[in-house]
């Protein structure tokens, strides 16, 4: 699966360029050391395949490589962090 990484967004596009999955994590206010994971989207055609979890793994890798902390306000992201306490060190 080829995710496209942008500064504050990770997306998955179809071969035709349609958005299939997305997670957004803008900077938290003026603080460039923290992001707010505020949106997770997976197209209905891909639901039930673990795509949202893969997006979260991509975000975790991004946070670790950029030395960022996260505040998950998206309900999926908040629930994911609760189920994966091994990544609690990335929470602000």
Q: Is 0.85 topped by the overall pTM?
A: yes
Domain limits, the chain: 4-90
Which region holds residue 50: left if phi is over 0, alpha if psi is between -120 and 50, else beta? left
pLDDT in tens, 34-55: 999 999 999 999 999 999 999 9
CATH architecture assignment, domain 4-90: 3-Layer(aba) Sandwich (3.40)
Q: How many angstroms from the chain centroid is the CA of residue 62?
A: 9
Distance CA 81, CA 13 (A): 25
Biggest CA pair distance of the chain = 38
With a cut of 50, list the residues of the chain below it in pLDDT. Answer: none
């Amino acid at each position: 699966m080829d995710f496209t990484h942008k500064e504050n967004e990770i997306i998955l596009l179809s071969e035709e360029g349609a958005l299939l999955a997305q997670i957004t994590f803008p900077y938290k206010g003026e603080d460039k050391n923290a992001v707010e994971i505020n949106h997770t989207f997976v197209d209905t055609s891909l639901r039930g395949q673990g795509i949202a979890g893969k997006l979260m793994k991509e975000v975790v890798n991004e946070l670790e490589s950029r030395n960022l902390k996260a505040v998950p306000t998206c309900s999926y992201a908040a629930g994911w962090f609760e189920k994966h306490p091994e990544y609690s060190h990335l929470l602000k």
